Structure 1
Amino acid sequence: MHKKVLAFIFIMASAVIYAQTTITGTIYDEYLEPFSNAVIKTTNEQVVSGADGSFTLKTSLTPPFTVQVLAVGYRTEEVQISQNNDEINVILKENIALDEVVISASRSPERVIESPVTIERMGIADIKRNTSVSFYDGLTNLKGIESREANYGFKSINSRGFSTFDNTRFVQLVDGVETSIPALNFSAGNIVGLSELDVKDVEVLPGASSALYGANAFNGILLMRSKNPFDYDGISTYIKTGYISQQATDTEAFYDVGIRMAHKFSDKLAAKANFTYFDAEEWHATNIANTSGVGGEIIAGDRNSNTDYDGVNVYGDEFTVGLRQVAQAAGLPAAVIATLPNANISRTGYEERDMVNYDGNNLKFDASLHYRPWGTEDFEIVLNSRFSRGNNIYQGTNRFSQKDYLVQQYRIEFIGKNFFLRGYYTGNDSGRSHDLRFVGIALNEASKPSNQWFGEYLAAFIASGGNHGVARTTADNNRLQPGTPAYEAALNRIIDAPITEGGAGLKDQTSFYHADANYNFKDLIKFGEIQVGGSYRKHIVNSNGTLFTDKDSKINFDMFGIYAQLQKKFLEDRLKFTGSVRYDKSKNFSGNFSPRIAINYALDESNDHILRASYQTGFRNPSILEQYFGLRTGPNSYILGTADENLDRFVVNATNRNGSTSSITGRDAFSRAFLATSVRNGAPVRAEVAPIKPETVTSYEIGYRSIVGLSSDNILELDINAYYNQYNDFVAFKNVIVPNYGGLTPAGQPDASATAALASGDFTEITLNTNSLADINSYGVGIGANTKVFSSFNVGLNYTYSKMDFNRASDPNFSPGFNTPEHQVKFMFGNPNLFKNIGFNVNTRWQSDYLWESSFLNGTIDSRLILDAQVNYRLPAIKSRFKIGGTNLTGQEYFVAPGSGKVGSLYYISWTIND
């Protein structure tokens, strides 16, 4: 009996072995280089090609059957297997851009050409061809995308206008996790993002995206996806170095290194870790031109010719007093005061270059554990941690040195075939970050208290017979001199002391918790593809009173949102309808509905020529800054967030010229304030303002995408779009002046006490975050074309037109801050395999001049032409790619914004192994 059983087992085992089919082969790219990490699969099994492109696949299927070969960014190839032990060689060709699969537009996979809205994409192949020093820098070459280049590591991405460096209207996600700094409510470039080695693809949705992504997806959304260690394992690394050239300093070397380690332990468990570090000189801000003050513009004059000088990148000279007011406070006779010039005198400031070390750096680390309980991608659990620490300069209302900052994230996510559920925490620690304007003010006070300085100035002015130069030299005696031990000691004390205690330090540890989920009913409901989802976020504001009105207690608030979407195809799948709606509610504001409707129609059966039209709305809840700011921006000036509860939290003691103090509250800025411009013009007009509320946009868009066959092996890709946006309750700054004493007459004019306060300079200037009544519209056109010439040369050209329509009569004191050139042209030309293993690429960008408006400084940004280029060499024997390149090769330096460092040229060489 036992012998029969053993015989039966042997026969069955032999049958199984006999039924097993083995396939071997090699995968190549279109330049006949071995292709690693390609997926070779049947209906039952799959393997991944090795570093040399080879693979071995064993399957229970018996010939004939079909094998698919897939890779991100490449066309899927199908090979017919006719016999056991077949050996196949497969050449993968790069996918055309409009055929790439994206997920951000609908939270569901679809071809770019079939996306219901405008979308831009960068894949692995694009990153290899990139001429910029990093993939993130290369995003600026995409159609309709702009980059504000603060420094090597901090670039702020935007689309369709209305942003500065602190872009709270644009959302950035890494694997679905928002990368915004909690205290700032915007993403500081790729500081908390991905290593270039770990990027699978990047998608950008220009324009309103609130219907699926909620608050703040107002100007657009950037979605970066990382490589899963189940699909991309092994060790890869890069080394970049070169030098940064700028007129403001000597040529400086930079260093940038990264390593990615990933391992698939089994079909159930995989893990990865990424480490990157760079050290690079920042763009030096050395502009000493005179300005009309914080938030003003550059004007004529310098320190020698203007007693009220306030330099662009000079700090401490914001402290200004009228010479006659000094004499009045000193008790001089009226007859003597009358002989003095009616001139304002500012203290002597310190240049930014004497306050900061422009050595920018960033260390970034992330690690994740991936678990698939059933050994398939139908269900996966991800645990992820991410850390970022470094130094850089950031320009907001003032210039800030972000020194030893730390950002950390922790995520857990459950991903199924048709759903995801994720939760994460993000926290920041400002370290030794500080406000450079207040460094200058505090250095002056450490040298000599302002009351003493102005008194000595007045005495010397009178004694010298009215010589301002002598007066300033006399008052500046014993001034702290940059580079001396006393100066350095004072500088360090000021950096470490909080703003609330007379220093310049920011002591922020703001954080938030976030959860979101999505479910797709496509396997349960056949009528159409229906998705539902939602999100919840809780903010914990904790700046110890240095940024927000939280000196005495932390601030907590939360928000939530829910959404649903339906996609349905008609007319033999040539007509696609997409409809979605989202509802969001934040603690301090009424709820908002964000609907979206989009229709795609294919002009041909192959879906290669598609017209689209969409209507969508977006909204933006005011940021933490706009709600709870209580930031001192100058000696007697503040920026105030205007959530209703913040008006009671804001209380400051203003010092008057006679030494007395007055208590100013946030309510005063609403009940007895005057427009700043009217006070300066000598005819005070009461400021009519209201607490802040969400801003909204209604967007109409049409587009056409087409894949046109020019020949058997060449195509032309066209992508054309046009949009029109209408804004309501646009969030903007409004500058008001509050007399330190006095009130209003029944007619809304300053009473006698308030008039005296304004005349003597006893007032507090407050910049309010509020909503404008202005009628604001914007519109634009984007045109992109890509093709090949001479068989293997890639050519791309795109043009973006952007225009704002603003009725200034509806709000004369409103500055919209469109901050976008009317015309942008971008051109790409290259060949990834010009000669064997040698490729090159060239990118050039031109933009017209435009007006930049911000709370720091306004001014015209000149037109510019930027040329970037790279040459690369592949060395398959050591799995390496070498690249030599440069950015801004014309050497024409330019300002990104008034007050920022002037951007020069960067030259680099990189070595990437196993990319």
Structure 2
Amino acid sequence: MKNLFFLVVLSLVATATIQAQTNILGRITDKKDEPVAGVSVVIRGTTTGTRSQANGVFKLPTTRDLPLTLTVSYEGYEDQSVVVRGNNFRSLSIRLIETAAKSNNVILSVSRRLEESRKAGLTVEKLDTRQFQQSPAASPFDALQNVPGVDLLTQSLTFKSVNVRGFGANNNTRFLQLTDGVDNRAPAFGFGLSNVASLPDLDVETIELVPGTSASLYGPDAFQGLLSTTSKNPFTHQGLSAQVKVGVNNIGKPGFGAKGYSDLAIRYAKQLGSRFAFKVNFQRLSGTDFMADDYSDRSTRARSNFFATDVSQGNLSTAIGYVPNNDPNTNLQYDGVNVYGDDINAGGAYRYPANYANASLQNVLVTRTGYSEQDVLGTNGKVFSNRANVALHYKISDQIEASVGWYYGNGSFTQTAGTRAYFPDYQRNQFKAELRGDNFFLRAYTTRQNAEGWNIGQTAVSVNNAWKPLTQWATEFGQVYVANKVSAGLARSEADRGRYLPGSASFDNARNAFANTFNTDTVPSYKGAKGTRFRDNSAFWHYEGMYDFTKILDVVEVLVGGSIRRYALNTGGTLLARQADSSEYTINEYGAYIQVGKELKLGDALSIKPTVAVRYDKQQYFDGGFNPRASLVVSAGNHSFRASWQSAFRNPSPIEFLGVSAAGVGRQVGGSAIAIQSSGLLRDSVYRDNDVKEFTAGRITEAQLRSRGYKPATFTTEKVKTWEVGYKAFIANRLDIDAFYFYSQYTDFITAQSYYLPANNRVGSFATNAYQALQINGNSPNELFVNGAGLSLAYSVGKGYTLSGNYKYQVGTVTLRDAQGTILRDNAGAEIVKRKTSSTEVIQQGRTYFNSPQNRYNISLANPQLTERLGATVTYRWTDRMWFEQGITAGDVWLPSWGSVDAQVSYRLPEYKSIVKLGGTNIFNDYYAQGYGLARIGGLYYVSVTFDQLFR
């Protein structure tokens, strides 16, 4: 009986796997009858597909019965549906029709189901391999800088942060980044690691961006938007691909000079039989970072005379009054932007008492000599990045595909939050298993990382103090300094006698001792001071699924799904609070959603499509809530009008919730009662920076200051409501238009404000500048509003040329309220209601961190076929000046506007299946900063050779 059962099973398996196979053959050309490589050919209703080769030929095996329909798509050409019958399946001839349109893109991210972008209820942008090849950007991720509405903040050559729709941040916790559906975020920090641990460049097929909340389908982490990157399927992208890229940056840097970099990548994919395929990817980048070398005097609200005020209007701020003095020889309070250890509000300055013996220094603040960022790092700017990906795919049927994948990221980079931090050897592993059909998916994945870094600023302070305590240094400075007779420079040099010099053994030993000791531990050889190292070796597990009932119900589109996530935090107390027994916290989350939509045909060319979606999410430490969305799309021929309303909430990230940052400059304290208690803030009194300035200036008494001390408040989720309308059209097969307007209102906005903890918990310590700076997270009582609009145009000029451009406008306004909800007034007595976040009378009351330019535009002229083999693109990018508020020590400043010209020329070698590309960004090398304290970006020039799908 057992043998009979075995024979029956074997027969069924053989019958299922040994079916008649049909090989569909065809050739794809353009209007000049030239072959087109890389065109996607997919059997409609299945996951089975392939790509055309360099000669335009494709071969697509299938066990499905004829007739069937193929979907043929390639960026820059119209999508086509091709019917395959018994009389043509061996000799299909497909001619592509060129178009300037992006409007006919098929996208997935907005509704979690395939749809034309012109029928999507939200604004969406899509980039694919053809656009990556034509872009002057050095990588697919860098190409996002040309997408309308995207502000890409470059923190490091290997780390860039995506920001959309205001409240720009170096570490954006309000924006979800997915790679093949896998969350890209660092578990404890809560922000996406973008290009630090993303896909190798050769494996990126598409990037979709939704600039606006997507929480109704993706959960609270998609509070401000979604970036979804999809890799190439090994069934449709086979063969060997390789890329060699060499380049240079840092040209014209005084005392530093041009530095080269290399970027090597390889990809191999192969289909074995009709069911199984695999791929292997690896990329290695090594080079020199853009230098953070702004040595100008810091603009920061911590300075006593930062605001120019009108006394007649109650000291109303009228402008920024501080005039920087960049010469430390004449400026007693010199505090260089990228100089550390000299910070006026973070352990680098001393205020002499009012009765100090040297009368010329009475009540005067003096900063000690600091170290540049490169002095502290000692790396000469060297950075590296390793990325790898391995995936196995198996077709259970033509409609169902199973896959497992490993995603690896490893590299060094500099990151900016409260202060600058350096990660010398970041490592992350992600593992994913997925079962996907044309109407469902089941996915499970885990993220595990080893992330140890150290605080650059606090390390500089510690090295200075290890050599000589601040009070001793100040005493020696004061003994030499005489106003108008002996310069600050001479007094500094005397006080600095014997100082640890960068590169010396004494400096390196001290730097390494602090940088390699965790901030929870003491450094015995340096007077028991705390180390400056921290770690985030946290992990999370995520399980999710979705089912599309549309085919079953037939009359309406219904999609349901859900997810479960568990965080296992592991920072050893260096970043996050621990439980009473010293064990680490875990966090559990779950959510479920449903989306219902229906396209109603009102004629041959007119249709309307209403869609409603709602999602419920719950995190164990916060109340659950709903994220609803309603949208309506009206399509009339080539014109589409869209409108949507969304409401969303966001749970605080682990560091916003549990942060304690055990010691030092840039302490991040979470807003939860757990973090407040663990940080000792129920025992010690801390005070807002503005109130401390009022106290030290003698404008309020000690009793008044104590009455304004920090008082813990309920910490809850932040919320947003967004209204949006848009228009998308493709006119005369030449002009592509996409326009939008949105209005958002934020409440319970989570933000970190600066507080000062006086030495020994005595407010009298403020008189000598003896305090520690903290950033405490909490819900702002203010109402924040963002108005924005954007316009994208692409016009086919003719002869292969496309002129395109986009413009984005957005402005933040605020209504200031106190903890009881009462509207606050400025110093002139007027209520602060919906005023610009960058207005000085608002800035005077505190930070809002809007950090976004009001205007931004790009203009591009491209022709991928100047000749049969030659293509070129030139792009101009311009960004308006913006008010920027950054961290504890970085400061508050108007960043100037900047413009950049990018260009590339590419040459195809079809006989070698390769492309040679010469390109550059910021080719005129006009250095600019995208954020205060960040490295200034200059020209990046490169030449690359890409070999694609060899040995296919």
Q: Normalization by structure 2: what TM-score? A: 0.84
Q: Residue in 1 aligned with 2:339? A: 314
Residue 182 in structure 1 maps to residue 187 in structure 2: yes
The residue correspondences of 1:812-891 to structure 2 (distance < 5 A) are 813-855=845-887, 856-891=890-925
**1:37 Cα offset (Å):** 6.0
For the Cα contact (< 8 Å) 1:549–1:649, is it kept in 2? yes
Which one-letter code corresponds to 1:599 in the other structure? L
Is the contact made by 1:37 and 1:51 (CA closer than 8 Å) also made in structure 2? no
CA distance in 1, matches of 2:584, 2:647: 33
Shift of 1:450: 3.6
8 Å Cα contact 1:367/1:385 also seen in 2:
yes
Map of 1:767 onto structure 2 = 775
Deviations 1:218-244 (A, max 9, x none): 221101111111221111111111211
* Superposition CA RMSD, Å: 3.1
Name 1:730's counterpart in structure 2: 749
Quote how far apart the aligned CAs of 1:102 are: 0.4
Residues 183 and 428 in structure 1, CA contact (< 8 A), matched pair in contact too: no
Deviation of the 1:66 alpha carbon: 7.0
Aligned pair in 2 of structure 1 residues 824, 196: CA closer, same or farther (>3 Å)? same
- Quote the Cα distance in structure 1 between the aligned partners of 2:192 and 2:21: 52
Query: Is 2:641 the counterpart of 1:641?
Result: no
Give, in whole Å, the separation in 2 of the partners of 1:774 and 1:306. 37
1:693 Cα deviation after fit: 1.8
Deviates more, 1:138-147 or 1:470-479: 470-479
Secondary structure of 1:626's counterpart equals helix
Tell me which moved more, 698-707 or 421-430.
Answer: 421-430
Contact 1:646 1:666 in 2 (8 A): no
Q: Quote the offset at 1:148 in angstroms.
A: 0.9
CA distance 1:293–1:463, shift in 2 (3 Å):
closer
Distance in 1 (CA, whole Å) between partners of 2:693 and 2:795 is: 54
Q: Does 1:131 align with 2:150?
A: no
Q: Secondary structure at the match of 1:692?
A: coil
Give how far 1:734 is off: 2.1
Unaligned runs of 5+ in 1: 1-18, 329-333, 652-664, 743-753
Report the equivalent of 1:585: 618
2: CA distance, partners of 1:193 / 1:201: 13
Q: Is the 8 A contact 2:688 2:755 kept in 1?
A: no
1:521 aligns to 2:549 (yes or no): yes
Q: Which whole-Å CA distance do the structure 1 matches of 2:63 and 2:356 have between them? A: 108
Choose from 685, 705, 708 the match for 1:686: 708
1:355 equivalent in structure 2: 376
- 1:481 aligned partner: 501
Structure 1 residue 891, shift from structure 2 partner: 2.1
Matches within 5 A, 1:193-208: 193-208=198-213
Relative to structure 1, the CA distance from residue 648 to residue 893 in structure 2 (aligned partners, 3 Å threshold; closer, same or farther) is: same
Letter of the aligned partner of 2:796 in structure 1? Answer: K
Q: Deviations over 1:327-364 (max 9, x none)?
A: x9xxxxx7948785222233321111212221121011
Q: Does 1:250 align with 2:257?
A: yes
Q: Is the 8 A contact 2:39 2:72 kept in 1?
A: no
Deviates more, 1:127-136 or 1:284-293: 284-293
TM superposition shift of 1:581: 0.9
Deviations 1:740-764 (A, max 9, x none): 667xxxxxxxxxxx65454465654
Counterpart residue number, 1:610 = 640
Contact 1:673/1:739 (<8 A) preserved = no
Residue 587 of structure 1, CA deviation: 2.2
The corresponding residue for 2:805 is: 797
Distance 1:261 1:669, change over 3 A: farther
SS at 1:190's partner residue?
A: helix
Deviation at 1:779, TM superposition (A): 0.7
Q: Does the alignment pair 1:620 with 2:639?
A: no
Decide whether the 8 Å contact of 2:299 with 2:324 is kept in 1.
Answer: no
Q: Which moved more, 1:93-102 or 1:294-303?
A: 294-303
Match of 1:703 among 709, 726, 738: 726
2:364 alignment partner in structure 1: 343
Contact persistence 2:50–2:235 (CA under 8 A): no
- Cα contact 2:686–2:757 (8 A) shared by 1: no
Counterpart Cα distance in 1 of 2:574 and 2:770: 24
The answer on whether the counterparts of 1:41 and 1:47 sit within 8 Å (CA) in structure 2 is: no
Q: 1:454-487, CA deviations, whole angstroms, 9 ceiling, x for partnerless residues?
A: 4444555599998755543333222111122332
Between the aligned partners of 2:567 and 2:21, the Cα distance in structure 1 is 57
Q: Could you tell me how far apart the structure 2 residues matched to 1:113 and 1:177 are?
A: 26
The alignment partner of 2:598 has SS state of: strand
- The 5 A counterparts of 1:381-396 are 381-396=402-417
* 1:582 to partner: Cα distance: 1.2
1:359-374 to 2 correspondence within 5 Å? 359-374=382-397
Do the aligned partners of 1:24 and 1:88 also contact (CA within 8 Å) in 2?
Answer: yes
Are residue 721 (structure 1) and residue 721 (structure 2) matched? no
How many angstroms does 1:906 deviate by? 1.0
Q: Residue 29 of structure 2 aligns with which residue?
A: 28
CA distance in 1, matches of 2:163, 2:98: 28
Asked whether the equivalents of residues 308 and 320 of structure 1 are also in contact (C-alpha less than 8 Å), the reply is no
* Residue matched to 1:331: none
Which region of structure 1 is more displaced relative to structure 2, 550-559 or 894-903?
550-559
Q: How far off its partner does 1:548 sit?
A: 2.4
Q: Is 1:429 the equivalent of 2:461?
A: no
- 2:558 pairs, out of 524, 530, 534, with 530
Instruction: Report what 1:495 is aligned to.
Output: 515
Contact 1:40/1:47 (<8 A) preserved: yes
Gap change, CA 1:93 and 1:306, over 3 Å in 2: same
| 1:4-51 Cα distance to aligned partner (Å, 9 max, x none) | xxxxxxxxxxxxxxx999875422345613425643759999776444
Alpha-carbon spacing, 1:55–1:893, altered in 2? closer, same or farther (3 Å): closer
Match of 1:559 among 565, 589, 592: 589
TM-superposed CA distance for 1:264, in Å, is: 1.0
The alignment-based identity, stated in percent, is 30
CA contact (8 A) 1:670 1:690 kept: no
**Paired residues of 2:535 and 2:572 also in contact (CA < 8 A):** yes
Q: Secondary structure at the match of 1:835?
A: coil
**What is the alpha-carbon distance in structure 2 between the residues aligned to residue 134 and residue 92 of structure 1?**
27
Q: Structure 2 unaligned runs (5+)?
A: 1-19, 307-321, 523-529, 818-822, 825-841
Which stretch has the larger CA shift, 526-535 or 891-900? 526-535
Q: 1:798–1:826: 8 Å Cα contact kept in structure 2?
A: yes
CA contact (8 A) 2:350 2:470 kept: no
SS at match of 2:911: helix
* CA distance in 2: counterparts of 1:60 and 1:815, whole angstroms: 63
Matched AA of 1:369: L
Of the three residues 262, 281, 289, the one matched with 1:274 is 281
- The structure that has the greater radius of gyration is 1
Give the 3 Å change call, closer, same or farther, for CA 471–206 of structure 1 in structure 2. same
The one-character-per-residue Cα deviations of 1:86-112 (angstroms, maximum 9, x if unpaired) are: 644322345631111101111111101
Distance in structure 1 (CA, Å) of the matches to 2:44 and 2:773: 71
How far has the Cα of 1:794 moved from its partner?
1.1
| Change over 3 Å in CA distance of 1:203–1:57 after alignment to 2 | closer
Q: How do 1:63-74 and structure 2 match up within 5 A?
A: 68=70, 70-73=72-75, 74=77
Question: What's the counterpart of residue 246 of structure 2?
Answer: 241
State the alpha-carbon separation in 1 of the partners of residues 735 and 771 from structure 2.
64
2:538 is equivalent to residue 505 of structure 1: no
CA distance in 2, matches of 1:862, 1:601: 41
User: 1:726 and 1:173 mapped to 2: Cα distance?
Assistant: 26
Contact 1:234 1:262 (8 Å CA) reproduced: yes
Segment drifting more, 45-54 vs 762-771: 45-54
Tell me how far apart the structure 2 counterparts of residues 650 and 503 of structure 1 sit (CA, whole Å): 17
Task: Show CA shifts across 1:499-531 (max 9, x none).
Answer: 233222223312222222212111222341111
Select the structure with the greater relative contact order (CA < 8 A; seq sep ≥ 6).
Answer: 2
Q: Secondary structure at the match of 2:144?
A: helix
Provide the residue aligned with 2:316 in structure 1: none
Partner Cα separation in structure 2 for residue 828 and residue 123 of structure 1: 17
Task: Report the 3-state secondary structure (helix = DSSP H, G, I; strand = E; otherwise coil) of the residue aligned with 1:630.
Answer: coil
Q: Which secondary structure state, in structure 2, belongs to the residue aligned with residue 494 of structure 1?
A: helix
Count residues in correspondence.
854
Alpha carbons 1:673, 1:738 under 8 Å: kept: no
